Structure 1
Amino acid sequence: MAEATQSQQRGIMMTDNALKHVLELREKQGTDLCLRVGVRGGGCSGMSYTMDFEDPKNIQESDEVFDYDSFKVVSDPKSMLYIYGLVLDYSDALIGGGFQFTNPNATQTCGCGTSFSA
């Protein structure tokens, strides 16, 4: 796994590859957006990761905000209970590529890599 970006040592960490890819995706959106990461019930193992761009105006006072060189990663407090310490990586491999989640709180993960149980 690539080394996590050093600007944040807790909460949600992003590798340089993940940050680069997210910034490229955001640029295609054409606006200044933040990335919201969270969890919801469902998926093969009971919980699924969620990830989407969001207008920074929607950041709530209770949200955890992690700053990566003026790019914000945001998560709600309930999701943070399950993903605190998460490392978000990105691979452009033909097989198994895409965003990859390494969650220290997961007791079981699905082969798809997007669902887990805690």
Structure 2
Amino acid sequence: MTEATQTPTKGIQLTPTAYKHIMMLREQQGNKDLCLRVGVRQGGCSGMSYMMDFEDINNAREDDQIFNYDGFKIICDPKSLLYLYGLVLDYNNAMIGGGFDFTNPNAAQTCGCGKSFGV
């Protein structure tokens, strides 16, 4: 595991709004030791889709990249990081179209729902 110090233009970025919402979701899980795994998988409207899930930090693999936000950790595998490097994860609480927003500088195209992309 490689732990990275977050800088404004590197790795996976997390907005304060997204951080607040993730902390609320983690509290609902009842385990304050969970981290967030972010990655990509084949599929979706544009070829690749984003994935996120809570995970125990002890499940992090040796080659995972870890980004630390005031003690909260985001984990990403190296293959996904090739597509997600520079990603900004935000949260929008609008009644229509709300949820997590992915701003990915590596995406050549995105679908209308914003949950998948192509490179």
SS at match of 1:24: helix
**Match status 1:11 vs 2:11:** yes
Aligned position for 2:21:
21
Aligned position for 2:62:
61
**Conserved in 2, the CA contact under 8 Å of 1:48 and 1:116?**
yes
| Partner Cα distance (1:17, 1:98) in 2 | 11
TM score, norm. by length of structure 2: 0.92
SS at match of 2:112: coil
Q: Which runs of 5+ in 1 are unaligned?
A: 1-6
Alignment of 1:20-99 (within 5 A): 20-31=20-31, 32-99=33-100
TM score, norm. by length of structure 1: 0.93
| Partner Cα distance (1:88, 1:24) in 2 | 16
Offset at 1:8?
3.5
**Poorly superposed stretches of 4+, deviation over 6 Å:** none
SS at match of 1:79: helix
Task: Count how many residue pairs are aligned between Structure 1 and Structure 2.
Answer: 112
Identity %: 66
Q: Which runs of 5+ in 2 are unaligned?
A: 1-5
How big is the alpha-carbon RMSD for the aligned residues of Structure 1 and Structure 2?
0.7
